[in-house]
Amino acid sequence: MILLSRRSLLAIAAVVDVAIHARPSPVAAKLLAARHNLPPRHLETVLQQLVRAGILKGVRGPRGGYELARERRRITAGEIVRAAMATSSEESMPPVPDSALVDLVVGPVVRKAGEAFLEVLDNSTVEDLCRRAEEAKVFGQVPSSVDFTI
């Protein structure tokens, strides 16, 4: 069972992908989306959130795209998840129950679990994840069906 939202999982994957591929030039959103088999529109809002959080830097122009705003070792998976969750739509969620059971029993346990979960992510840097991706050889050739024209 994965406890991360799809958006958070995508955000971590995008940052690791950019960290691996942004040399010598930034990674185009179209290429990033193609490597993860996603329509670019699904990725663009996540990338913009990561730029606003100071995790990625957007580079404009014909050879533009995204690159890390800081060193790999200074960005944690927990920070990426918090940035991805920052604008998740709370309005579409049902209200939290207003009860003593939630306030005194369920809420504290869930908060404690969430803090432990984020602590593990805070101890995983983008550098660690890049190393694992390189060891696993997860990136191969770019799909030939990708159109890179803007």
Which residues are 57's β-sheet partners?
Answer: 67
Q: What is the pLDDT of residue 91?
A: 55
Which residues are 65's β-sheet partners?
Answer: 59
Q: Please give the Cα distance from 27 to 21 (Å, whole number).
A: 7
Query: Nearest Cα to 46, choosing from 88, 104, 7?
Result: 7
Percent of the chain with pLDDT over 70: 87
* Concatenated DSSP letters of the chain: ---S-HHHHHHHHHHHHHHHH-SSSPBPHHHHHHHTT--HHHHHHHHHHHHHTTSEEEE-STT-EEEESS-GGG-BHHHHHHHHHTT--STTSPPPP-SHHIIIIIHHHHHHHHHHHHHHHHT-BHHHHHHHHHHHT---PPPTT-----
What are the chain's domains?
Answer: 6-89+125-136 (1.10.10.10)
Confidence of residue 5 (pLDDT cuts 50, 70, 90): confident
Angle ∠(37,62,18) on CA atoms, nearest 5: 45
> pLDDT tens for residues 116-133?
999 999 999 999 999 999
> pLDDT tens for residues 91-110?
556 777 889 998 999 999 99
Q: What is the pLDDT of residue 93?
A: 64
Are the C-beta atoms of residues 14 and 48 closer than 8 Å to each other?
no
| pTM of the predicted protein model | 0.83
What's CA 12's distance to the chain center, in Å?
3
